[in-house]
Amino acid sequence: MAEYLSPGVYVEEFESGAKPLEGVSTSTAGFIGLAARGPVAGLPVLITNPADFGRVFGSYLSENAFGTYRYLAYAVNQFFANGGSRCYVMRVAPEDAKAAQSGDDQAVLSVSAKNPGAWGNQIRLTAAPSSKAKTPIYEALDGKRYRVKNASGFYPGDVVLFTDGSSEQYGTVVSVHDGVIELSEALSGEVVDTNLVPAKVLQTSEFTLQVAYGNEVEVYEKASLNPESPNYIEKLIGKSSLIDLTVQSQAAGAEAPFARIAANGASFALSGGSDGSAASLSAADFIGVDEGPGQRTGIQSFIDNDVVSIMAIPGVTDPNVQLSLVAHCETLGSRFAILDLPREATKVQDVLAHRELFDSSYCALYNPWLQVFDPLDKRNIFIPPSGTIAGIYSRSDTTRGVQKAPANETLRGVVGLDVQYNNGEQDILNPAGVNLIRAFTGQGIRVWGARTCSSNTLWKYINVRRLFIFLEGSIKNGSNWVVFEPNTEQLWARVQRTIDAFLTRVWRDGALAGSSPSEAFYINIGRSTMTQDDIDNGRLICEIGVAPVKPAEFVIFRITQKTGSE
């Protein structure tokens, strides 16, 4: 309670009404797969267009080298072509992939590519001498101490060069205080120069490092080998997206590192990078490992991401990987998995055999594979449908809303199908929860199914599950303000008003069935949902029921003959 200690008028603000709930995004996709370059651990990378993907993860992979593991780039491209706006990508690399490195083990700088892959063999580095500070010496004091005109920019540990125009002397700064610099070794000869334009100067010895990969160039000016310097090279390179760098031991003497860099001056290239082989890949590489925040790989890396709502691993149909992805989606409860079938699974019995592996409302299966143009080989190829379907999910959410089943939608950039299924075959596959992609005369190629892989008929439609993901995520994210509030009738009323306003808006958008809000949903909170024991143990329980709209999957027109007497 506020304290009032002196007479006067006090104005206070307080909150009593509902707090608006904002709907969470349902159109952000997450992809996992092989790429030419890019990080293999840590947080997934946000990609907003195909050019972004190319800059971070490189171009398309060769079919000869990686076979069915190479479809990540194609899936991301199809995602954006079909209406996707943003996605997160995590790269997987074969176990035998290697990062390119600098060749000389005795070099001052040990350099390696930021991540594994043959791409690193194209990185070139150029080191050129430079200086961040220089000054004339005004007075030689006792020992190795020198009073200078300007000591700014000199730090203990800096390698310095003294030149009088004809000779050079190297040393190391021991201390800097009140315009006096103490060196590790005394300078020989006459070092004082008080002329207006000095010929003798003491300067720090740094270098400018240029890192080039194709059209991507990073320049680090006035880099220092002194760990105490603000421009220490390891600190600067920490921002690089191309290389990692460490300074080797300086046992040869303080001034030796710079002297060796200056002597080597010319550029050098990294080498030894390898993309690895498809034979060394296993399900474990895609499932990933959880070594704590910032070190997770594969599917596990998406634990740290709370934005993604659609997940896919394009072309990877190993049951262990797909089941792990589904389990990931079920555990988090905030995302939906799009699964591919093996390309060779074209017969109905083969499709059903793969379908029987799953029973979850958090995933959907799509078949067959799609024919698209391959920019790498300049010909049409077949790719898995998951990337294209993820784009359609995103497009449908944006244009119609998450309540609309992502079906009867055209596929962009697709020129054909690997298999043409007929009505009889779909009569078998559709009830089993396999969503077919079919070509219709004059209507293009369309998604012709909207079912999950669940045996629970309450959750058989994709849009119902994804609507609940949307509602649950929105209510969860928008209700953090309730935590630790006094658990009283006033709080219950505010929570009810908040959720009522949100669900009413959702109903008006057409996501809930019913001619009125009371038919579309109900909210129970208070003594009807909580006991005194719940309240004593800090629990606030709110029961919400909603009536989701269901898709018109079977449209039936009953036609009869009208006689003249009727």
Please tell me the least confidently modeled range out of 15-29, 31-45, 365-379, 546-560: 15-29
Give ∠ CA 64-69-70 in degrees, rounded to 5: 65
To the question of pTM greater than 0.85 for the whole model, the response is yes
Q: Does residue 564 surpass a pLDDT of 70?
A: no
For the chain, the average pLDDT equals 90
Please tell me the least confidently modeled range out of 134-148, 438-452, 474-488, 523-537: 134-148
Give the C-alpha separation, 141 to 154, whole Å. 18
The gap from C-alpha 463 to its chain's centroid, in whole angstroms, comes to 25
Please tell me the least confidently modeled range out of 50-54, 206-210, 481-485: 206-210
Give the C-alpha separation, 203 to 161, whole Å. 5
pLDDT band at 425 (very low <50, low <70, confident <90, very high): very high
pLDDT tens track for 494-504: 999 999 999 99
Indicate the helix (H) or strand (E) that contains 337: strand 336-340
Give the C-alpha separation, 168 to 190, whole Å. 13
What does the pLDDT read at residue 254? 46
User: Does residue 44 have a cis peptide bond before it, meaning omega lies within 30 degrees of 0?
Assistant: no
pLDDT band at 509 (very low <50, low <70, confident <90, very high): very high
What does the pLDDT read at residue 361? 96
Q: Does residue 95 surpass a pLDDT of 70?
A: yes
Q: Does residue 106 surpass a pLDDT of 80?
A: no
Higher pLDDT, 143 or 178: 178
**Among candidate residues 277, 279, 276, 320, the one with its CA nearest the CA of residue 298:** 320
Q: Does residue 291 surpass a pLDDT of 90?
A: no
**Among candidate residues 176, 189, 181, the one with its CA nearest the CA of residue 147:** 181
DSSP per-residue letters across 178-189: TTEEEESSPPPS
Region 311-319: mean pLDDT is 96
Residue 311 tokens read as: 């997940």
Region 198-208: mean pLDDT is 86
| Percentage, residues of the chain above pLDDT 70 | 95
Region 433-456: mean pLDDT is 95
Give the C-alpha separation, 241 to 122, whole Å. 14
What does the pLDDT read at residue 256? 52
Give the C-alpha separation, 65 to 69, whole Å. 9
Give the C-alpha separation, 192 to 512, whole Å. 86
Region 379-389: mean pLDDT is 96
What does the pLDDT read at residue 251? 41
Please tell me the least confidently modeled range out of 17-21, 30-34, 487-491: 17-21
Place of tokens 């509602």: 471
What does the pLDDT read at residue 187? 85
Give the C-alpha separation, 23 to 499, whole Å. 12
DSSP per-residue letters across 472-522: HHHHHHTTGGGTTS--SHHHHHHHHHHHHHHHHHHHHTT-B-SSSHHHHEE
Q: Does residue 352 surpass a pLDDT of 70?
A: yes
Q: Does residue 539 surpass a pLDDT of 60?
A: yes
| Percentage, residues of the chain above pLDDT 90 | 65
Residue 510 tokens read as: 């057409």
What does the pLDDT read at residue 416? 96
pLDDT band at 255 (very low <50, low <70, confident <90, very high): low
Q: What residues have CB less than 8 Å from 374, skipping those under 6 apart?
A: 60, 74, 380, 381
Q: Does residue 1 surpass a pLDDT of 70?
A: no
Residue 95 tokens read as: 């176990």
What does the pLDDT read at residue 258? 54
